[in-house]
Amino acid sequence: MKPAALALAALLLAACSKVTEENYAKIRDGMTEQEVIAVLGKPTESSSMSLPGMSGTGAKWVGGNVMISVTFVNGKVLSSSFKRSPAGAK
């Protein structure tokens, strides 16, 4: 595949990402995990733990230079954060 075609394909994939500031603005405390997944799609990574009577999950969505992190307690949003890295940063 030619470099120009690869660049175009990468741009199109990034444009289709649900990991955007606009979608982050839709996330509210108290939303269920399934409601957040409906907005952002499947998380890039997540980890869970549980104690008697309480469970918690930390999930991250990464798309391009954007990362959205959400903490769920008992299946509902407790907190969330949005981070944009400078273009080209690793």
Residue-wise DSSP of 13-49: HHHT-S-SHHHHTT--TT-BHHHHHHHH-S-SEEEEE
| CA 16 to chain CA centroid, nearest Å | 13
> What does the domain layout of the chain look like in residue ranges?
18-84
Report d(CA 25, CA 2) in Å as an integer: 37
* Region 18-84: CATH code: 3.30.1450.10
Query: Which residue in 81, 89, 87 sits closest to 19, CA to CA?
Result: 81
Amino acid at 47: S
Q: What pTM was estimated for this model as a whole?
A: 0.77
Interval 42-71: pLDDT, tens: 999 999 999 999 999 999 999 989 999 999
Interval 63-88: pLDDT, tens: 989 999 999 999 999 999 999 998 65
